[in-house]
Amino acid sequence: MKKITPTIATERSYTVAKEKDLPISSYFGEDTFSDRLMRKKLPAAVYKRLKESVDKGIKLDAKTADAVAQAMKEWALEHGATHFAHWFQPMTGATAEKHDAFIEISGPGEVIERFTGEQLVQGEPDASSFPSGGLRATFEARGYTAWDMSSPAFLRKNGIGITLCIPSAFISYHGEALDKKTPLLRSIRAVNDSALRVLRLLGNGASKKIVSNLGPEQEYFCIDMDYFYKRQDLVLTGRTILGAPPAKGQELEDQYFGSIKERMQSFMHDVEEELYKLGIPAKTRHNEVAPSQFEIAPIYEEANIAVDHNLLVMDKLQQVARQHNMAVLLHEKPFAGINGSGKHVNWSLSTDDGINLFKPGKTPHDNIQFLVFLLATLKAVHRHADLLRASIGSASNDHRLGANEAPPAIISVFLGEQLTRILESIEKGAANGVTDKAIIDLGISSLPVVSRDNSDRNRTSPFAFTGNKFEFRAVGSSQSISFPATVLNTIMAEALDEIADMIEKRGAINIKEAVIDVLKEEIPKVKPILFMGDNYSDEWQKEAERRRLPNLKTTPEALKALMTDKAHVLFEKYKVLSQVELKSRYTIKIEKYCKDIEIEAKALYNIISSQVVPAAVRYQKDLSESVAGTEKVLGAGLDLGPQRELLKCVAELICGIRSSAGTLKSKLEKAGGLHEYQKAEFMCAEVRPAMDGIRKLADELELHTADDLWPMPKFWEMLFVN
């Protein structure tokens, strides 16, 4: 393998410092058709009608739509856009867009730029090639895209092309959601309704809307592009499916929060500049635990916008990396043996008048409210731990979950000592006569703002309370956060409604009394979901079993949760997903799981057959010629036993690999005849272990074969040369 001189040594633009950077605030959002811009560009009446439509979620009338389209077009043309596209989120988890030029024929051989309200509001991409998970077969659903007015249109600059992108939902003509955005929007509405109901019961008549917020912390690896292109596995599957561990991994812990190397810093700088132009509030950047691993985190935003923005972050990371001759790996486990990447999704609910419903307050009243929302979360996660697990299930995330760095597949909640103690004292406290005095005695009159240090110490929990928000840490780095957020909002809506029912049933003469009574009754039921210890330990696995918490280790097992009556009832009740829509998500996730593993298995087979074995055979030939030649010259003068041993070892490994590759191939053939769930189970139970077996032999062979013959970059190069 020819060694690469990393491009860092060559002259590149990043080494040329810019004269001076403009303050971020001076260009933040300049590539978006923002609210401020709309207010400026649109006639006051049009702007008002548009805002009303957004707030009430009603369709835009034709005249208003035309006026908005006109202003948007002018702005886009001024900024060099030639095309527009409805930008949507099919169930693949990626984003999709079909570009149309702004032109229309105006006379023989002549065009003018035109963009109508109709084109803005609705598009008709050919839906037939997107996965529909059976929806199309059932309904012959052609799809259309509809502008999501709550997310601003933006300019997508790619190479020298500039496109006006219109964030959109993707729906079938019969109204089924063909995408990830529609259910999310429905779940946002559901949790709004239920949370408002609870707030009204607690005497809040002022707040008009409940907002669900998300702050996703995105982890990723970044390596030199030259290495990336020399690894078929990385190019085709996003992870290395073979490769021996390097002598140095992450044991020195010298990477985490370390100073960022010059090349990387320049890359991050360019990414952030692009994100700021798109109005994405990228806030934090740092080195992560593994070598060549990093994190970028934004300031949290409304869930719908946060999802769109996270998709754009993932996109921009990859795009800008290419300009720096680097490759960003979003896969959950690109390198076996060192930490993988996740996405900590910070989640909270707040009101339109600025109350964070997960924030412990300073008065008994505030804390009654806080405790209700806390209890609702515990109820929701306890009842639907399996759904949360399913929402983050994928072939790639299975490599990471429970791999001693990421939360295990058991979903539990970490609250910190202080809150746990408070819940316990409420459980034990007097049920009747809840006065302010009693509340003070229970220790909930004024919860000091739970310090982050206190609540954040446990990094092993998949679902942790961190002061004024919950952090769902089991989400994978490569996945859209849309479905996990949809599940969170929906299960929360259900739990809040149940709590509201219980409070109402108690004939709320004294609301505090009713709430404390409900808390007393419910806390013992939800307690099994609370865990403060080490989630990585074996004891927890056993303890979780005693508590009857689901421990769904693999994706096929986990996905079954989507097909239970419990899930159907939940999603139907809140009109987030109909039974058919839910089934289609299940089918797509199962298919994706099978395809991911199938592609990896085929890539492994090809790499073994055309790269690893040929290289090893060459080395075997060198060795055998050398042993024979040396014997001839030295005769019995030297015992060549150890060298013969090496030759034997190499030869045996080659034989072992060949025969295991044959087994893998026949397993893949067998898998071809299986369907849906059966196939997924087979992939999990048969194909994956067969791949692991081959990898073990190949990694052993890598350590014995001459470095100059090994046909692909090794871990130490990819991880440390940058």
Q: Which residues are at the interface with ligand ADP (CB under 6 A)?
A: 213, 215, 217, 284, 297-300, 346-348, 356, 452, 456, 466, 468-469
Residue 283 or 573 with smaller CB distance to Mg ion: 283
Q: Which is nearer to ligand ADP, 240 or 455 (CB)?
A: 455
| CB nearer to Mg ion: pick between 344 and 359 | 344
d(CA 399, CA 490): 27
Q: Which does 714 bind (CB under 5 to 8 A by kind): ligand ADP, Mg ion, none?
A: none
Residue with tokens 């929402």: 391
We find the least distance from the C-beta atom of residue 216 to ligand ADP, in angstroms, to be 7
CA dihedral 516, 522, 523, 527 (to 10 degrees): -170
Find which of Mg ion, ligand ADP, none residue 265 binds, CB within 5 to 8 Å per kind: none
Residue number, 64 or 458, with CB nearest to Mg ion: 458
Q: How far apart are CA 173 and CA 47, in angstroms?
A: 29
CB 274 within 8 A of CB 28: no
Q: Which does 298 bind (CB under 5 to 8 A by kind): Mg ion, ligand ADP, none?
A: ligand ADP
Closest CB 150 distance from ligand ADP, rounded Å: 18
Q: Which is nearer to ligand ADP, 10 or 25 (CB)?
A: 25
Min CB(1)–ligand ADP separation in Å: 40
Q: Which is nearer to Mg ion, 185 or 475 (CB)?
A: 475
Contact partner, 300, from ligand ADP, Mg ion, none, Cβ < 5-8 Å per class: ligand ADP
At closest approach, how far in Å is the CB of 344 from Mg ion? 5
Secondary structure tally for the chain: helices H, strands E: 27, 17
Residue 48: CB minimum distance to Mg ion, A: 40
Shortest Cβ distance from residue 297 to Mg ion (Å)?
A: 7
Nearer to ligand ADP by Cβ, of 267 and 347: the residue is 347
Output the 3-class SS for 202-245.
CCCCCCCCEEEEEEEEEEEEEEEHHHHHCCHHHHHHCCCCCCCC
List Cβ neighbours of 78 (8 Å cut-off, separation of 6 or more). none
Nearer to ligand ADP, 356 or 587 (CB): 356
Interface positions with Mg ion (CB under 5 A): 344
Alpha helices, DSSP H only, in 529-675? 538-546, 555-559, 565-573, 579-607, 613-634, 641-672
Min dist. Cβ of residue 470 to ligand ADP (A): 8
How many Cβ atoms from other residues are within 10 Å of residue 36's Cβ? 10
Picked from ligand ADP, Mg ion, none, the partner binding residue 382 (CB below 5 to 8 A depending on kind) is none
Question: Which tokens belong to 310?
Answer: 């996270």
Which residue's CB is nearer to ligand ADP, number 163 or number 213? 213
Query: Which residue's CB atom is positioned nearest to Mg ion?
Result: 344
Q: Please classify residue 686 by burial: count the beta carbons closer than 10 Å to its beta carbon, then call 0-12 exposed, 13-18 middle and 19+ buried.
A: middle
Contacts of 227 (CB under 8 A, 6+ apart): 4, 327, 713, 717, 718, 721
State the nearest-atom distance from the C-beta of 95 to ligand ADP, in Å: 21
**E strands in 95-153:** 96-101, 103-107, 110-113, 122-123, 143-147
Please, which residue, 42 or 297, has the CB nearer to ligand ADP?
Answer: 297
Residue 348 touches which member of ligand ADP, Mg ion, none, C-beta under 5-8 Å by kind = ligand ADP
To the nearest whole angstrom, how small is the minimum distance from the Cβ of residue 377 to Mg ion? 17
Find all residues with CB under 8 Å of 519, minimum gap 6, and list them: 371, 372, 375, 423, 426, 427
DSSP sequence for 34-48: -HHHHHHHS-HHHHH
Q: Which residue has the tokens 């003068």?
A: 637
**Residue 297 contact partner, candidates Mg ion, ligand ADP, none, CB within 5 to 8 A by sort of partner:** ligand ADP
Eight-class DSSP state of 194: H
Question: Least distance from C-beta 422 to ligand ADP, angstroms?
Answer: 20
Rounded least distance, CB 475 to ligand ADP, Å: 13
Helix (H) or strand (E) segment spanning residue 346: strand 343-351
**CA trace torsion 71, 74, 77, 82 (10° rounding):** 60
CB of 344 to ligand ADP, least distance (A): 6
Nearer to Mg ion, 473 or 714 (CB): 473
Q: Which CB sits closer to ligand ADP, 448 or 635?
A: 448
Task: Identify the residue whose tokens are 């702004």.
Answer: 102
Which residue number, 70 or 255, has a Cβ lying nearer to ligand ADP? 255
Residue nearest to ligand ADP (CB): 215
Residue 85 DSSP class: E
Count of beta carbons in the 10 Å neighbourhood of residue 44: 8
Dihedral of alpha carbons 184, 153, 24, 81, sign: positive
Please, which residues have CB within 8 angstroms of residue 387's CB and are 6 or more apart in sequence?
487, 491, 561, 562, 567, 570
Indicate which of Mg ion, ligand ADP, none lies near residue 484 (CB less than 5 to 8 Å, by partner kind): none
User: Residue 81, exposed/middle/buried by CB under 10 A (0-12, 13-18, 19+)?
Assistant: buried
Amino acid in position 495: A
Residue 348 CB, nearest approach to ligand ADP (Å): 3
Structure tokens at 561: 């949760």
The CA distance from 534 to 543, in Å, is 11
